[in-house]
Amino acid sequence: MINFTINGQNVTALKGETILQAARKAGFYIPTMCYLEKTTPCASCRLCVVETDKTDGFILSCQTPPTEGLAVTIDSDALKTERTNIMRLYNVNHPLECGVCDKSGACDLQNKTLEFGISSQHFSAKEQHRTIEHWGLINYDPSLCILCEKCVHVCNEIIGDDAIELKFGGYKSSVIPKNSDTLDCTFCGECIAVCPVGALVSSNFQYSANAWELTQIPATCAHCSAGCALTYEVRHTSNTVGAIPKIYRVTNDFEHTTLCGAGRFGFDFNVNGTKDPKMFAKAVAAIQSATAIRFSSLITNEEALILQKLKEKFGFKLYNEEARAYQQFMNAYGSMCGKTGCGGTLEAIKQSDAVILLGGRISSDNPAVRYAVTTAARHRGAKVMYMHPLEDELLQNVVTQYVKYEVGTEEGVVAMLAKTLLEGCDLSNEIREFLDELDEGYLCAESNVGDEEFSRIAKSSLRAKQKTLVIGSDLLSHKRAENIARLCALIEMYTDFSIVVVAPSVNTVGVSLICELDTDIGGANIVGYNAEGDFTMGSLGNPELLLPSLNSQEGTFVSMNAQVLPTNVAVGFDGYTLNDIANALGLNAQYTIDYTPQLPRDKGFNGTPFDDLGNFYTALGEDRRGYILKNTDVEINGVLEEINDLPEFNGTVVYRCNPINQFNGYTAQTKQLEKDATLRGSTQFAAAAKIADGDKIRIEFAKGVQERVFVIDSTLKGTVALVPTYDVALGSLGEQYRFEKVKIIKMGSES
């Protein structure tokens, strides 16, 4: 703790905090234009200048930590003059187009100009010719840009795309794509979010509505298990199309949260239905006579509870293979370490010095994990070890060690990893014996990971203070998932690694806690809720009964951080809901959210009613969203099994992996997101499968056949190709092991 004074008042700062941070905590106001809480200071605006008794002239409070006994002045006349002059310079030749600018009404420059009373221009500069850039989903107007560098900082430090940079040239300076003529990035749109003026805007939203016309609805993103906070901004459409409510854009609290492109641009997946009593009666009858309900994890906790209650009442089965795989993984994990949940969170990844990413392509599976890893690498210099059969070009800026293992050998890799990391730990004899008996030679040879690679991992993580192991969804759907889970549990129990399990879908975690799931053996009379079935309902595909999509529902999700997060209705739905069906079947609740307090307490839910759940961050960045699940104790009865023979995958192997910003049937429907449905592989894969770039091919899986176009992706290496899943079978990813040996036939060549 450092004690110092601001304007004569005593203030304390934590070690590592800057004067600005301490001042904000203590409630002092220091104006800034370029400061972003989540990045390192840009230090470009110089509005945050302060005076101290120990320095001559002004210092920047955003990047200077206080020293003991320092006396800081934040609002002397000299400082006011300095800041006013800076604001005058910002306004030189700034286009007077607030009337049409999208940012008007929510613009930092507008606010500060009024705050400092800049009503006229005293300086002049010869105006440059500046052209408006169109970068796909993003438009950039350099004449509005104030060169605060926030966009460059988030892109580099948080996202990791490193796609834009500042072109220096005095008054000619502007933001340009890095090493490219046009913007080539993952289109997360975070640069749009942080832009304090209207320079970077969403091309789809630009000039379509004013900030003050939009109703802001705080919600939770429905695309992946990170459960990011977002705000749906809703307005009526034009009169000619009926003036109905529509989501115009998605924004986020960019000071404290980060959104990926799917969250920001993939919002228009809502459907609308009508009340058709005949179809409703058919749905009720179908459930009454059903042997099972198959459902996806794109569901709220409340609806999952309704399904569980209906199961208890009617005795049918509940099928959700993806959530069941997760459930089994976590049960096996719990049976070893005695806890229901893992200790790691996204926040913990950001604070880590060493991160191991194992068994998942996180840049497309879960961008929030990628951003957290990038943050750790950039801000803490974290060692990032990426273990996967496929290298990922998007991670190459942050990964310090890439470990390639053979497809299917995850169990062996995890066993070897456990052995490496548990070296020198105080273990029980049983575990020690198990690890000693591992056939290192066999495991290393089959997985193709050398001893020296494991020892390098051990060395990298040895000196780290905070460590995280990220378990990807390859491991959840692996045949030996349970043994892998037990081994992972050992790592969390005996080392200071905390574990983060990347659940595949938005509410996989919630479903696995609430529902008793059965093995999907098919059968007659299956009702599908956003899944295949004899009678289908939901909002994906062409269901017989339309039910609201996740942005037309209120309810809660459980994120991979074990946090119960509320979501709200962005646009209304006129048809029936699952709750209406449940009421017709003998349950009794006026609204779906009446089930929120009834979520099972033995699984860690605390019974808070929906309306009492917060969904925001405070000005200082404290998370006030929902609540954290209680990590409850379970019986320890797990026994490690012998490592099985490691399977071999030869020939043409594909990996179920969606392109960036695609996740499920919802993202597949959206207007703005790119829909790349091709099979992407390296030239090596093309040679092995005897196909060429642009060929129409037929892929024969163990279950089903797909027809796609093959495209050579120069960023890929090796003999595994990426096949998307968002556009088939209602878009679920995690139902089966993600690698599969397939037969690929060039269309037209078969006789």
Partner 1 sequence: MHHEEVFTNRNVTESSAYYYVDIESYPTTGWDKFKQVVRRTFSGELFIGLWVVMREMIKFDIHTVQYPKEKLPLGPRYRAVHKLLRLWESGYERCIGCGLCEKICISDCIRMDTRIDENSRKEVTEYSINLGRCIFCGYCAEVCPELAIVHGPRYENASEQRAHFVIKDDMLTPLDLLKAGAQEEYPGFGAIIPGSDDAVKKTPLAY
Q: Which residues contact 249 (CB under 8 A, 6 or more apart)?
A: 202, 204, 205, 214, 233, 267
User: Of residues 208, 351, 495, 608, which one binds partner 1 by CB under 8 A?
Assistant: 208
Q: Is residue 5 a contact residue for partner 1 (CB under 8 A)?
A: no
432 vs 415: CA distance, rounded Å: 12
512 vs 318: CA distance, rounded Å: 11
User: Of residues 120, 179, 182, 519, which one binds partner 1 by CB under 8 A?
Assistant: 120
What is the torsional sign of CA 439, 443, 446, 451?
negative
User: Of residues 14, 123, 600, 705, which one binds partner 1 by CB under 8 A?
Assistant: 123
Q: Is residue 125 a contact residue for partner 1 (CB under 8 A)?
A: yes
Q: Is residue 121 a contact residue for partner 1 (CB under 8 A)?
A: yes
Q: Give me the least distance between CB of 141 and partner 1, in Å please.
A: 8
Q: Is residue 132 a contact residue for partner 1 (CB under 8 A)?
A: yes
Which of the residues 82 through 101 are near partner 1 (CB under 8 A)?
98-100
- The 3-state secondary structure of 588-604, one letter per residue: CCCCHHHHHHHCCHHHC
Choose between 100 and 705: whose C-beta lies nearer to partner 1: 100
Choose between 135 and 595: whose C-beta lies nearer to partner 1: 135
Q: Is residue 182 a contact residue for partner 1 (CB under 8 A)?
A: no
Q: Give me the least distance between CB of 167 and partner 1, in Å please.
A: 21
Q: Is residue 240 a contact residue for partner 1 (CB under 8 A)?
A: yes
Choose the binding region for partner 1 from 182-190, 233-241, 311-319, 700-708 (rule: CB under 8 A).
233-241
Choose the binding region for partner 1 from 56-64, 110-118, 231-239, 480-488 (rule: CB under 8 A).
231-239
Q: Is residue 637 a contact residue for partner 1 (CB under 8 A)?
A: no
Choose between 139 and 577: whose C-beta lies nearer to partner 1: 139
- Residues 74, 30: contact at Cβ < 8 Å? yes
Q: Is residue 363 a contact residue for partner 1 (CB under 8 A)?
A: no
Measured in degrees and rounded to the nearest 5, phi and psi for residue 305 equal -70, -40
In the beta sheet, which residues pair with residue 615? 625
β-strand pairing of 133-135 with 9-13? unpaired
Q: Give me the least distance between CB of 128 and partner 1, in Å please.
A: 11
Choose between 5 and 210: whose C-beta lies nearer to partner 1: 210
Alpha-carbon dihedral angle through residues 244, 259, 254, 630, given to the nearest 10 degrees: 100
530 vs 549: CA distance, rounded Å: 10
Q: Give me the least distance between CB of 111 and partner 1, in Å please.
A: 18
Q: Give me the least distance between CB of 236 and partner 1, in Å please.
A: 8
User: Of residues 15, 126, 129, 703, which one binds partner 1 by CB under 8 A?
Assistant: 126
Q: Is residue 210 a contact residue for partner 1 (CB under 8 A)?
A: yes
User: Of residues 119, 428, 429, 714, which one binds partner 1 by CB under 8 A?
Assistant: 119
The helix or strand, by DSSP H or E, that contains position 546, with its residue range, turns out to be strand 545-546
58 vs 72: CA distance, rounded Å: 10
Q: Is residue 591 a contact residue for partner 1 (CB under 8 A)?
A: no
Q: Which residues contact 181 (CB under 8 A, 6 or more apart)?
A: none
Count residues near partner 1 (CB under 8 A): 30
Choose between 243 and 636: whose C-beta lies nearer to partner 1: 243
Which of the residues 241 through 280 are near partner 1 (CB under 8 A)?
243
Q: Give me the least distance between CB of 127 and partner 1, in Å please.
A: 8
Q: What is the DSSP string of 632-684?
A: -B------PPPPPPPP---SSEEEE-PPTT--SHHHHH-SSS----SEEE-HH
Lay out the site mask for partner 1 across 185-204 (x = CB under 8 A, - = otherwise): ------------------x-
Task: End-to-end CA distance of the chain: give it in Å, rounded.
Answer: 78
User: Of residues 54, 80, 122, 172, which one binds partner 1 by CB under 8 A?
Assistant: 122
Choose the binding region for partner 1 from 16-24, 127-135, 226-234, 611-619 (rule: CB under 8 A).
127-135
Choose between 84 and 650: whose C-beta lies nearer to partner 1: 84
Residue owning tokens 């016309």: 213
Alpha-carbon dihedral angle through residues 582, 587, 593, 596, given to the nearest 10 degrees: -120
Q: Is residue 206 a contact residue for partner 1 (CB under 8 A)?
A: yes
Q: What is the DSSP string of 93-138?
A: T----TTT-TTTTS-HHHHHHHHTT--S-----PPPP-PPEEETTE
Q: Is residue 216 a contact residue for partner 1 (CB under 8 A)?
A: no
C-alpha to C-alpha distances, 115 to 7, 31, 36, 80, 147, nearest whole angstrom: 21, 10, 20, 11, 20
Q: In this structure, what DSSP letter does residue 629 have?
A: P
Q: Is 743 helix (H, G, I), strand (E, B) or coil?
A: strand
Which of the residues 134 through 163 are near partner 1 (CB under 8 A)?
134, 139
Rule CB under 8 A: which residues touch partner 1? 98-100, 104, 119-127, 132, 134, 139, 203, 206-210, 212-213, 236-240, 243
